[in-house]
Chain A
């Protein structure tokens, strides 16, 4: 009996180690592009401390959301969800610190505030990756059967409702646009674009995302049939996802100080240009969770 218990304990340690490795892998997969982005390093000291704290708070809420929807652990209480999310942020902080040390972005000559700012900012994309990698440390039923389920998503079986789809669209938009938002390019594109160019970009963005989700026959794509609710129609869903993408873009631009002192037309231009990327992410996110009952059953 004793040796059996010890054996299962060492097995559970091995599972935890594997979870940690998977978390690190997922974190790096999403975080590496921004770990290699000059503007992210500079923003660590250009942004005021309170703003970095706010961004970490927002990131934590998003991580809770990602963890909840990528939750293969169906019987998870709120407290467990929170603990998992705290661990996600903690792992991300450690991964970001080690990566920044190895890349020579943080060293002995770096001021403490600068170093903390860099780690705090870079841990955000890493945390998104960690939460998507689906770490599940506190699983009460961490058995092999459960492990087999790990690729599953919220859309399991019965499909996501329109609001869950929009939430996932927002999460995916954030994830995708985050890679572009800190750079100077959206600012240049937005500021230099003529008004008629911006007016062309909006329908072009809508057309592409509409086609990708409802027409291109990607796996997870959907037919043009309308559902019952107002957001269950292809056109309204596309518009709603675009609105969400605009909001996410604006939030990102504000986060990186691109709206500070900018004129209204500059803010609108930047938001529309960044929303091209964000709405494509939103479309990809909706593809990933698939359409609904029929599609899931068919596959």
Chain B
């Protein structure tokens, strides 16, 4: 039925691709506990840098839940020059298991610790 080696390769790759995709999704579906979104924010203080408008603080959001979070709003609070400042960021989508990089901005280099809180998100 197969006429040449290339057709065998196509069939082999096709079977592997379909088995891989469907297999992964089935296993994922069976092990999915349906946990709600659990955003975890990591501040990358070492990578922070100054710009003429102030201070940029890169951060990374991951989702340790099973469901995606939509329109995730985050607020970082820090003290700059003795005054408390807030920086807000909204992430359109935070899928389960995916890293999203973003940055908070302040008017200057924060003194002491920066605290992050979750303002809210939508469920898809």
Q: Which residues of A contact B (CB under 8 A)?
A: 9, 12-13, 16-17, 20, 42, 44-46, 48-50, 52-53, 56, 80, 83, 86-87, 89-91, 93-94, 109-114, 116-117, 119-120, 123, 137-140, 142, 257
Q: Which residues of B contact A90 (CB under 8 A)?
A: 10-11, 13-18
- Cα distance, A19 to B4, chains bound together (Å): 13
Known: A46-B70, A83-B1. 12 other contacts (CB 8 A): A13-B4, A13-B5, A16-B4, A52-B25, A53-B26, A87-B10, A87-B11, A89-B14, A93-B21, A113-B28, A114-B98, A120-B25
Contact with A along B1-44 (1 / 0, CB 8 A): 11111110011011111100110111011001000000000000
| In contact, B10 and A42 (Cβ under 8 angstroms) | no
| Chain B interface bracket (under 10, 10 to 19, 20 to 34, 35 or more) | 20 to 34
B64 to chain A, nearest CB (A): 11
Q: Contacting B25 at CB < 8 Å: which of A42, A117, A138?
A: A117
Residue of B nearest to A46 (CB): B124
CA distance A179 to B1 in the complex (A): 36
Task: Report the Cα distance A116→B5, complex, angstroms.
Answer: 28
Q: By the criterion CB–CB under 8 Å, are A119 and B96 in contact?
A: no
Residue of B nearest to A47 (CB): B124
Interface of B is mostly: helix
Is the CB–CB distance between A45 and B68 below 8 Å? yes
Cβ of B26: which chain A residues have Cβ within 8 Å of it?
49, 53
Residue of A whose beta carbon sits closest to that of B93: A42
Supposing A12-B4, A53-B25, A111-B95 touch, asked if A48 and B32 sit within 8 A by C-beta, the answer is yes
Q: Which of B10, B16, B29, B68 contacts A137 (CB 8 A)?
A: B10
B67 vs chain A, min Cβ distance (A): 9
The smallest beta-carbon distance between B29 and chain A, in angstroms, is 4
- Asked whether A17 lies within 8 Å of B15 as measured between CB atoms, the reply is no
A49 proximity list for chain B (CB < 8 A): 25-26, 28-29, 32
Q: Which residues from chain A contact B96 at a C-beta distance below 8 Å?
A: 45, 111, 113-114
Q: Give A48 to B35 CA distance when docked, in angstroms.
A: 12
CB pair A109–B13 under 8 Å, yes or no, is no
A78–B101 Cα distance when bound, in Å, is 50
Check A91–B25 contact: CB distance below 8 A.
Answer: no
- Give the interface centre of A17, A110, A137, A139 by most chain B CB atoms within 10 Å: A137
B124 CB, nearest partner CB in chain A, Å: 4
A83 to B124, CA, bound (A): 37
Residue pair B25, A116 in contact (C-beta under 8 Å)? yes
| Contacting residues, chain A, for B97 (C-beta < 8 A) | 111-114
> Which residues of the other chain, B, contact A9 by a CB distance below 8 angstroms?
3-4
Shortest Cβ distance from residue B3 to the other chain A in the assembled complex, whole angstroms? 5
Please measure, in the bound complex, the distance between the C-alpha atom of A16 and the C-alpha atom of B3, giving whole angstroms. Answer: 9
Q: How far is the CB of A91 from chain B (nearest CB, A)?
A: 7
Residue of B nearest to A60 (CB): B18
CB distance from A207 to the nearest CB of B (A): 38
A111 to B10 CA separation, bound complex (whole angstroms) = 27
User: Could you say which residues of chain A place their CB within 8 Å of the CB of B99?
Assistant: 109, 111
User: Of B6, B21, B29, which one neighbours A16 at CB under 8 angstroms?
Assistant: B6
- Residues in A neighbouring B5, C-beta threshold 8 A: 13
Residue of B nearest to A110 (CB): B98
Partner of A112, one of B4, B13, B14, B24: B24
Q: List 6 A-B contacts (CB under 8 A).
A: A45-B95, A46-B68, A53-B29, A90-B18, A111-B99, A138-B1
